[in-house]
Structure 1
Amino acid sequence: MDKIHEIAGDGALVPRFDDGMVNMTELIRVMAESLVNEIMDAQADEACESGNQRNGYRERRLVTSVGTINLRIPKLRAGSYFPEDLIERYSRVDRAVIAAVSEMVTNGVSTRKVKRVAQSMGIDRMSASQVSRICSSLDESVADLRERDLSDVSYPYIWLDATYIKCRDAGRVQSTALVTAIGAGSGGYRRLLGLDAIDTESYDGWRAFLLSLRARGVDGVICVTSDAHEGLKRAIQEVFPGAAWQRCIVHLMRNAAGNAPTRQKRGAVLGILKAVFAERDPELVRELYQLAIEQIEGFCPKAAEVLEEAEADALAYLDFPYEHHVRLRTNNVQERANRELKRRSRVVQVFPSRKSLIRMMGAVFSEMDEDWAGRRWFNDDSIGRAVEGAKVNAPAPAYEGTAAEHAARIIALVVADNPIPGRKAA
C-alpha cells in the first residue's frame, strides 16, 4: 500500500488533464494496477517460503471498467503460480470449450484427440465442482445475452444467417442449425440481437426466431440482409413488414456462377458480376447489372435467369445512404462471426449436447458483442438519415458521359478479358 500512497501523494505522479484537473479515471486505473501487482508479489513470496524461488514475470493485459491494466504475474522456478482469486484463467470461450470437453469425457464419448486437448487445458486437474461453477457462470452470461431487452434503440439494419455444427441429441449425432441476428442500432453500433439452435432452417424455425426478437423490442427495421432462403424470406416479410430484403451479393454471384456448365464460363460470370459490384455510383450499378444479364444470357441462360429474378433484391442496398452500401449488400459480418465460431468449436468436434453448443456459441458472441460496443460502425449523421428515410446522397460520378455510356465501356472491357466462344458481343 505504501507505493499507492506515494503515487497519490506525489503531485508529479498524479495524472492530470491539459487544464490541470486530476484525471480520476486514470488515477484509479494506476492505483488498481499497482495494488493487484503488489498482491501477486506478496502471494508469490508466500509460495516461496517453503524453499522455492522467483523466476521473473510474465506480462498480461486485463480490461477493467476503469481501463486496461498491465499485470506482472510472477513466475516460479518450480511449479507455477496463477492468481485465480484475482483474475480468471480462461476467457469465456475457453471456459465453454472446457465445459464441453469435460462433458464429453464424463459421458465416455471422448476420442484420444479430445483427451489430449483436455489435458493441455488442464481438465484432468479440474474437479466436477469447478466445471459446474464454470457452466453456471457461462449459462447465466449467455442467458443475459439471449434474453436482454432491446427496446432502448431502434435497429434499422439486421443481418441474418445460419451455420451448421454437429451435436449429439437424443442419442445420435446430427447437424444443428445455429441461427443468429446481428443488428446496427440507431446509435451506429453493432449488437448481437439473438442466437438459437434449431433443427432445420425452415420457415417455422426462422419465424419463431424473428418473433422472439420482436418480443424483446427489436423495431424500426428498414433493411434485412441474408442469403436467399425461401422460408427465411417469407418470415422476414411477415415479422418485419415494410422492411426491404437485401440478398447477399456474394452468395448471389456464387449461385449464378454455379449454373455455368464449364469452368471457363463460371469464371466469365464471376468476372462480369465483380465488375458490376466494383462500382459505387447507384445509377451506374443499375445500368451495369442490366448489361451483365444481357451478356451472360448469351452463353449461360440459366445464370442470366437467376440474376434477372434477383435484380430487385440484389440492388436493394442502392436505396439507402451511400455510406452504408458496402456493408449492407453482403452478409460478411455474419460470415466472419461464423468463421470464428467454427474455429473455436473445432476442438470439440461433436458437441455432447445442445445446451453445451448454445453455451459455446453464446461465449463466442459475448466476446464479439463486447468488442463491438466500443467501436461505432456507422456515424450519427448517416445512420440518422437512414432512419429518417433520406435520399441516398451519393457523390457526383467521376466518369464522363451518361451512366449508360460508361456502363457499356466497362462491359466491353470485361467481355474482352473473358472471351467465351459464341457469346454475344458487347
Structure 2
Amino acid sequence: MTQLQFTLNLDNLKDAVMNSNIEAVTKASIVLVLNEIMEKERDEHLQAKAYERTVTRRDYRNGYYERDLLLSNGRITLRVPRTREGDFSPSIFEKYERSDQAFVLSMLEMVINGVSTGNVTKVVKQLCGENVSKSFVSSLTKKLEPIVNQWANRPLNVMYYPYIFADAMYIKVREHHRVVSKAVYIATAINEKDQREVIGLKVDHVESFDAWQSFFKDLKSRGLQSPKLVISDAHEGLKKAIQREFIGTSWQRCTVHFKRNIIGDLPKKDMAQVIFDLKRIFSAMTREDACAFKEDFIKNYRDNSKLKKAIQILEEGFEDAIQYLNEPCSYHTYIHSTNSLERLNQEVRRRERVIRIFPHTQSAFRLIGAILMDYQEKQVMKKLPIKKR
C-alpha cells in the first residue's frame, strides 16, 4: 500500500476554524486531505514530482478540474489533477462513488417505503446538509425501471407453482390531464419449495375478463404451467379467464369472501348460532365432513324463511369453496383464502397512500414493482411450515 506524506495548508484550515462552524471545518479538512492524496497519486502515476526530470517519467501534468463529491456530511468540491494523455484516475473516486450509490439507494429505499419526495428532501437536508429537489428524488426512481422490468418479466418455467393467488386493487393515476382509476393486477404463488413468491404484476384500465385473460396469457408466455388451484374472489371476469387459460386447474373461491357474502344476507339479530354452524362447515378437515356439516346446516335452517337467501348462496357456491379440501391437509391453512395476498395489497396500499396520485401509469408500475420486489426478497429465505406426509 502506498504511504503518503504531505503537508496541509494550515492557513486555509485556520480560516475555516475562525470563520465557520465545525461542519465547515470538517469539510475543509477533508478537501485538503483528499486534494493532497490525489496530488501524490498523480506523482506516482507520472513517476516524477513537479519540475523533476527523470528517465522513468510516463506523462506530464495538465492542470486541474473541479469535481463535486457527495459525502455523508454533505457535498464538497475537489481540485482533481489531470495529465496530458488523460489516463490518470484518482483512486478515491472509485471508493466514494460507492458512497454516492449508497446515498442514492437510501433515498430510493425511503421512497419505496412510503416516504414522500418532499419528506425525503427534508431528511437529506438534516442528515447531509445537502439540498436536493423533489424532481431530483423523483428522477431517481427512474433508476428502478430496468430493474423492475427485468424482475417482472423473469422466466417462470424454472419451477412449478401448484397454488396461485390472484387479486386486483385500484389506484389513481394522472392521464391526459385527468385523474383516472387504474386496476393493479397481482398474482402470488406457493412454489414447489413451499415458498411464497410474487409471479405477476400489471397495471390496466379496469378489472374485466379481457384484462384478466391478458394477464394470465402474459404469465403463460413467461413459462407458467397450469397450477392445481387458482385462489381468488368471485369476480365473473376473473373466473372466466381462469377457466379459459388454465386447462385442468380448479378454481378455489376464497372462503373468507364466501362466508362474508353469506353472513351479509343473514338477519342482524339472534344469528350467533347460525354463524357458528356456518363457520363449522369450513373448519372441516375433510371434504366428507364439510359436506355433512353443510347438509346439517340446511336441514336445521331450511324452514326459516329469513335464511332462504343465505342457504341459496351456500348451495350455489359450496363446491367452489371447498376445492382446497382435495389437497393435502397440511396446505389447507394456506390455500383456502386470499388473505395472504390481501395483506400484501394492504402493504402496497400503505405506501401508495403517501403518493395518492401517480403521475403516470409507468411510475405506478415502477414503484409498486419495487415494493413487491422488496417483499419478495424477504420471502426468499422463508419456507411455509408444511408437514409432508
> Counterparts in 2 of 1:243-258, with a 5 A limit?
243-258=249-264
2:310 equivalent in structure 1: 303
The AA in structure 1 aligned to 2:199 is L
Q: In structure 2, how many angstroms separate the alpha carbons of the residues matched to 1:344 and 1:220?
A: 32
Instruction: State the Cα distance separating 1:331 from its structure 2 match.
Output: 0.4
2:277 equivalent in structure 1: 272
1:327 equivalent in structure 2: 334
2:80 equivalent in structure 1: none
Compared CA separation, residues 120 and 129, structure 1 to 2 (3 A): closer
> Counterparts in 2 of 1:365-376, with a 5 A limit?
365-376=372-383
1:350 equivalent in structure 2: 357
The AA in structure 2 aligned to 1:304 is I
TM-score by length of 1: 0.63
The AA in structure 2 aligned to 1:95 is V
Partner SS for 1:252? helix
Q: Does the CA-based 8 Å contact 1:93-1:364 persist in structure 2?
A: no
- 1:97-154 C-alpha deviation (Å, 9 max, x unpaired): 78x965xxxxxxxxxxxx5x46545499325884465233211121012111111011
> Counterparts in 2 of 1:233-252, with a 5 A limit?
233-252=239-258
1:217 equivalent in structure 2: 223
Compared CA separation, residues 248 and 293, structure 1 to 2 (3 A): farther
Q: 2:111 aligned to 90, 95, 112, which one?
A: 95
TM-score by length of 2: 0.68
Partner SS for 2:210? helix
Q: Does the CA-based 8 Å contact 1:97-1:345 persist in structure 2?
A: no
The AA in structure 2 aligned to 1:155 is Y
Q: 2:100 aligned to 53, 75, 85, which one?
A: 85
Q: 2:289 aligned to 276, 284, 293, which one?
A: 284
Compared CA separation, residues 261 and 372, structure 1 to 2 (3 A): same
> Counterparts in 2 of 1:21-170, with a 5 A limit?
48=26, 50=28, 84-85=99-100, 87-88=102-103, 90=106, 92=108, 94-96=110-112, 117=119, 119-122=121-124, 125-127=131-133, 130-131=136-137, 134-170=140-176
Compared CA separation, residues 359 and 223, structure 1 to 2 (3 A): same
Q: Does the CA-based 8 Å contact 1:192-1:365 persist in structure 2?
A: yes
Query: What is the number of equivalent residue pairs in this alignment?
Result: 302
Compared CA separation, residues 341 and 310, structure 1 to 2 (3 A): same
Partner SS for 1:158? strand
Q: 1:199 aligned to 187, 202, 205, which one?
A: 205
The AA in structure 2 aligned to 1:349 is R
Compared CA separation, residues 242 and 276, structure 1 to 2 (3 A): same
Q: In structure 1, how many angstroms separate the alpha carbons of the residues matched to 2:384 and 2:108?
A: 24
Q: Does the CA-based 8 Å contact 1:166-1:176 persist in structure 2?
A: yes
Instruction: State the Cα distance separating 1:166 from its structure 2 match.
Output: 1.8
- 1:215-262 C-alpha deviation (Å, 9 max, x unpaired): 001114111100001110110011111111100000001111122243
1:15 equivalent in structure 2: none
Structure 1: any 5+ residue segments left out of the alignment? Answer: 2-43, 53-75, 103-114, 383-392, 394-426
Q: Does the CA-based 8 Å contact 1:97-1:348 persist in structure 2?
A: no
Q: In structure 2, how many angstroms separate the alpha carbons of the residues matched to 1:372 and 1:245?
A: 25
Compared CA separation, residues 258 and 296, structure 1 to 2 (3 A): farther
The AA in structure 1 aligned to 2:208 is S
Q: In structure 2, how many angstroms separate the alpha carbons of the residues matched to 1:325 and 1:176?
A: 33
Q: In structure 1, how many angstroms separate the alpha carbons of the residues matched to 2:109 and 2:308?
A: 47
2:195 equivalent in structure 1: 189
Q: In structure 1, how many angstroms separate the alpha carbons of the residues matched to 2:122 and 2:362?
A: 24
Q: In structure 1, how many angstroms separate the alpha carbons of the residues matched to 2:270 and 2:173?
A: 39
Q: CA RMSD in A?
A: 3.4
The AA in structure 1 aligned to 2:291 is R
Partner SS for 2:381? coil
Instruction: State the Cα distance separating 1:357 from its structure 2 match.
Output: 1.2
Compared CA separation, residues 125 and 311, structure 1 to 2 (3 A): same
The AA in structure 2 aligned to 1:48 is T
Partner SS for 2:295? helix
Compared CA separation, residues 227 and 121, structure 1 to 2 (3 A): farther
Q: Does the CA-based 8 Å contact 1:156-1:223 persist in structure 2?
A: yes
Q: In structure 2, how many angstroms separate the alpha carbons of the residues matched to 1:279 and 1:120?
A: 54
Partner SS for 1:179? strand
Q: 2:367 aligned to 360, 364, 371, which one?
A: 360
Instruction: State the Cα distance separating 1:272 from its structure 2 match.
Output: 2.8
Compared CA separation, residues 166 and 128, structure 1 to 2 (3 A): closer
